[in-house]
A and B are shown apart, each in its own frame.
Chain A
Amino acid sequence: MSVTEYDVIIIGAGVAGLTAGAFLAGRGFKVALVTSGEPTACLSTGCIDVCSRDHNPLLGIKELPPEHPFHLVPEKTIREALDNFQAAMMDMVIPYTGALEENRLVLSALGTFKTTCLVPSTMEAAPQDTKDSIHIITFAGLKDFYPSYILSRRKNTKFSVYDAGVSSTMGIASHFEEKEFLESFIVWLKGQNIDEDKIAFPAVLGLESAAEIVKTIATRIGKPVFEIPTIPPSMPGRRLFNALTDYFRKKGGDIYWGWPVIGVEKSGKIIEAVMTASKGRPNSLNGKAFILATGSFVGGGLVAGRETITENIFNLPVHVPGPRETWFENDYFSFNHGIGRAGIKVDSSLRPAGAPWENIFVCGGILADTEILKNGCGHGLALATAHMAAKSCMEYIR
């Protein structure tokens, strides 16, 4: 068995795990991150929701029920987490716009508004009300993006279709990375003689250079241009994930892809190592501290059985909101499904409550009582608790 020593082992490659990892690696700790696959962040809109309950996210957080994990993070730390995130993304050339005092709106593919806090610069020009007239450009054959939905909700909206020669999200996005393609597209767009105030696109404008591509189109056409997030495959989610990964690595962290954790070595109050599956023999990663950031149900951090909900890596006690009857409401689209409160309860240092281990910290979507859909707090909570967990971890090791 190959044994490798690290200061901190992080499990989970989502926004929380990668952020905690970059924080610690940037402070000189030897950090390894293991993941069994890519995170749900890839499927997200790439927007950072902090709290959508109020126009001001900070006030929204104050309104959250007392057991919400956001209350464990001091406002100073939330601010620091968002500042650090924006600086990191600037460094990775996918700048984010927005401020903690004021939420913004993003136009959805249905023509509705999504409330969020920080948006990729490609969505910065999205209308904040129904006044602006918009011209939507979509692509021949692109699935699951239909301008008619938006047209039905907004007046002064028109659309045109461009044939990119390919119809998949990834195919169109990689075409936009080619100079000649972009050039001929701009020539076509100019020929459309668009009168509307703004030009909207499904979020397929490039893989990693989207910020630059949106800027180029806007400058050349002389009108504000913005992207509308799509259902997966979601380019803004992938760009965010790629940027977080590159940043973590730039800070000196190691990533182990496809390393599902299959066992844990413990002694007394200490977790000593995690074992991961591989074809030949298990790998063992020793660490002084561990951060669990495996997300909730879709991410694989929590597993629901018929009557129980479990966390299968460390077997931590999971807070279950009540008997199974209370897990789901009859209305599928309700924000109040009881299962949204399931997760790991933690103490003020983000150590799991009711577990004997002193060197494990929990952050992100796996936390209990988050009700992420209802409170609109996904990536924002992940950033804030990741900072908090990383700090607790740092204090513990020192």
Chain B
Amino acid sequence: MNFEHCIRCTICVENCPVMRVNPDFPGPKQAGPDAQRFRLDREKTEDEWVLLCSQCKRCEMACPCGVEPAEIILKAQQIYGMGHLRTAAHLLFANNYYLSVLGSLTAPLANRIAATKVGKKIFSAMGIATYIPFPKFRFRTLHSEKKSRTRGIKKVAFFYGCFINFYRPDIGRKIIRLLSSFNIDVVLPPQWCCGLPSLGNGNLTLARFFAQKNASSLSNYIDAGYDIVYSCTSCGQAILHDYPDILEIPQAKKIAENTYNIHEYIVKLMDEGYIKPQFQEMRRKLAYHIPCHLRALGIGYPAAKLMSLIPGLTCEILDDNCCGLSGSYGFKKSNEATAIQIGNSAVARIKKTGAAAIVADCGSCRMQLGGLSGLVTLDPAEVLSEALGITLEKKRKS
């Protein structure tokens, strides 16, 4: 929707987590539709504050007129990125994928260096915040997993994303077992970073390069009869929202039509009568932190629907709290204070529920909320796996 549809009602302003804590950010209305008029007139707007937007997209979900302030700002960020020298942190996070490939290949060493005082000093010198520990690289990434092929009810190509692949391949393995337990074939298609970190750090060209590689790979799998399933809500956001829009990927429409959030997919198969999961009782209380990008996907909260079927489990939904980290946003020294303040208010609300653990679909939300609260964090797929008795231990011969 055009920026001219903005009626300046300020509902987006009420929803902006950054503006609440950082007075330097003029808010989604001013940085988005208001400033856009000047940008279109090619007036020089020295608006380095566009970089302060964390791209949580809460403004877009709130707008009653269908304007997309975050999208307008994202485009302004790319233009800013082209015209200005990037900081070391921006360069590193835009290339997070390559960094992670290197990190996982040298995992024991890389993790040890990252955890030392010297490592932290190096991070700090590069403008990277260290208030929560940097996630640990895993040598055995998910991509090295063997493929299982049977004749299942459905064929799924799993877009696991960088977070699962490099840091938490165990969650990826659980997701594969979860889907396999429903008699679904899972393959791991060739894939690269979804492109969102590059986009978020002002490198449109690199984002498009990744997106194009992924698109050709995923497109081939769709032609071969596969449904694409993703688990990271930000990867999902990139594939469904950014590929067709800002990244202008030709196959994007076809991909969007055949790509599902993992839990959305399970719910769909249940609705269609293919599967009937039998969840075991789980006497626990969990706080379900809804990642901003899950909200922005417009698919509802399918994992909440599934968890509500687990007997004994209470799951309180909190969808009004951005965690503040927003991928690489909070890892930049310049955004550190903003990220911590937003995160702390989210943690305060979570603690009010009295829940013993936090559930969130997004790896970076979990890093932030776990780091700031000290509570256990879980992916919804881990909760479902537990309720279905799925573990990663090898089956004992009885």
Q: How far is the CA of A169 from the CA of B320 in the complex (A)?
A: 18
Chain A interface size, under 10 / 10 to 19 / 20 to 34 / 35 or more? 35 or more
For residue B64, which residue of chain A has the nearest CB? A37
Interface residues of A in 171-207 (CB under 8 A from B): 171, 173-174, 177
A279 near B64 with CB under 8 A, answer no
> Nearest Cβ in chain A — how far from B119, in angstroms?
33
**Extra inter-chain contacts (5) besides given A260-B66, A277-B298, A280-B258, CB under 8 Å:** A170-B16, A170-B19, A171-B19, A258-B60, A278-B298
Cβ proximity bits B298-340 to A, threshold 8 Å, 1 near / 0 not? 1111000000000000000101100000000000000000000
Q: Write 17 A-B pairs (CB below 8 A) sorted by A numbering.
A: A4-B271, A37-B61, A37-B62, A37-B65, A170-B13, A170-B20, A173-B20, A174-B20, A249-B317, A256-B300, A276-B298, A278-B298, A278-B299, A280-B259, A298-B9, A298-B64, A300-B64
For residue B62, which residue of chain A has the nearest CB? A38
B20 near A171 with CB under 8 A, answer yes
User: Is B21 in contact with chain A by the CB < 8 A criterion?
Assistant: yes
Q: Which of B9, B13, B256 contacts A279 (CB 8 A)?
A: B256
A-contacting 9-mer, from B133-141, B198-206, B260-268, B367-375: B260-268
Q: Which of A167, A174, A256, A277 contacts B345 (CB 8 A)?
A: A174
> Nearest Cβ in chain B — how far from A54, in angstroms?
31
Which of chain B's residues have a CB closer than 8 A to the CB of A233?
Answer: 10-11, 13-14
A37 near B317 with CB under 8 A, answer no
Q: Which of A38, A168, A170, A254 contacts B64 (CB 8 A)?
A: A38
Cβ proximity bits A283-324 to B, threshold 8 Å, 1 near / 0 not? 100000000000000111000000000000000000000000
> Nearest Cβ in chain A — how far from B62, in angstroms?
4
For residue A172, which residue of chain B has the nearest CB? B20
Which of chain B's residues have a CB closer than 8 A to the CB of A99?
Answer: none
User: Is B23 in contact with chain A by the CB < 8 A criterion?
Assistant: yes
Q: How far is the CA of A258 from the CA of B61 in the complex (A)?
A: 5
B23 near A167 with CB under 8 A, answer yes
Cβ proximity bits A245-259 to B, threshold 8 Å, 1 near / 0 not? 000010000101111
> Nearest Cβ in chain B — how far from A208, in angstroms?
9
Interface residues of B in 58-109 (CB under 8 A from A): 60-66
Q: How far is the CA of A238 from the CA of B241 in the complex (A)?
A: 28
Q: How far is the CA of A174 from the CA of B322 in the complex (A)?
A: 14
For residue A167, which residue of chain B has the nearest CB? B23
Q: A3-B271, A249-B317, A259-B298 are in contact. Are A238 and B61 (CB under 8 A)?
A: no
> Nearest Cβ in chain A — how far from B159, in angstroms?
13
